[in-house]
Amino acid sequence: MLWSPFDILKIFTASLPLRYLDLSHNYLRKLMDKMLSTIQNTLIELRLQSNLLGDTLNPIFSTSEFRGLKYLNLLDLSSNGIKAIEEGILDGCDKLQGISQYPFDHVLTGHPVYLLHIR
């Protein structure tokens, strides 16, 4: 099922205590400002697989939406064409266990995770 940006926004403004969120295969090019702010205290797993988040003009993935997701355990950014992750992008994600990123086919772990350059 493909979701429009308007549908996605309605989910987040409803202030649902979401723990698991899968927005894979939705052709997302970027994350909207404050999209995750209402669930930052409940979100455990975020899957953004197979979107368009890796910009070919700037292959370093950058967003402020992950900052403060203090309970996030898993972040799936696989199949997005991301080459590297901007430093500080995961500030406040203290419980993060790893980032799933294809073509590695496994979860990247370790801190600081922003130092992982994805090939």
pLDDT tens per residue, range 71-114:
999 999 988 888 778 888 888 999 998 887 655 444 444 444 44
Q: Is the pTM of the predicted complex or chain greater than 0.85?
A: no
CA 45-113-18 angle, 5° bins: 15
Say what the pLDDT of residue 56 is.
Answer: 67
Write down the CATH superfamily of domain 19-30+37-119: Ribonuclease Inhibitor (3.80.10.10)
Cα separation, 22 vs 45, whole angstroms: 8
Which CA distances in Å does 9 have to 4, 34, 73?
A: 9, 10, 23
Where do the domains of the chain lie?
A: 19-30+37-119
